[in-house]
Structure 1
Amino acid sequence: MNKFYMRKAHLKSNLNSTRKAWGINEDLNLTGLFEKGYCVDVISRLHGRTNSSIAARLVRLSLIEKRSDFYKRRRVS
């Protein structure tokens, strides 16, 4: 399967979380995963949200300064 169709399938699987409000438990879980060093893809998959939405939430929670900081993470967990 080529990258385009894989990405399309990934986005389609995340549609149930589109525009879904963030809850306090989800914020706490996100914070924990981020502080443990989990990579972008793992955090996104666990939360059922896009990489971009995870990065934006981390900025809002003051865990990173800008979205691009999130994508620099290389540790795979």
Structure 2
Amino acid sequence: MTCLPIPVFPSPCIDQCSFRRRGHCVGCSMTQAQKRLFQGLKKRDQRAAFIDMIIEQQLRLGRYDHWPGAYKEKRSNPE
């Protein structure tokens, strides 16, 4: 039997923090409150749902085309 790797869901933060878009980070779109909230999420399904919410938020806000590639890189090279 082959074991599938457990998906890693690190923070959506891509280390370009600057809250210049009406309180949203220009790197990942999270607010400071959302950044704190994510740190409290411990279960994979909670983190996955949070990432989905951030992706939807990015689509609504626009100008986050850089994020998917940067986040994919972060997921493939966990700290």
TM-score, normalised by the number of residues in structure 2: 0.29
Whichever structure has more helix as a proportion of its residues is 1
TM-score, normalised by the number of residues in structure 1: 0.29
Max Rg structure: 2
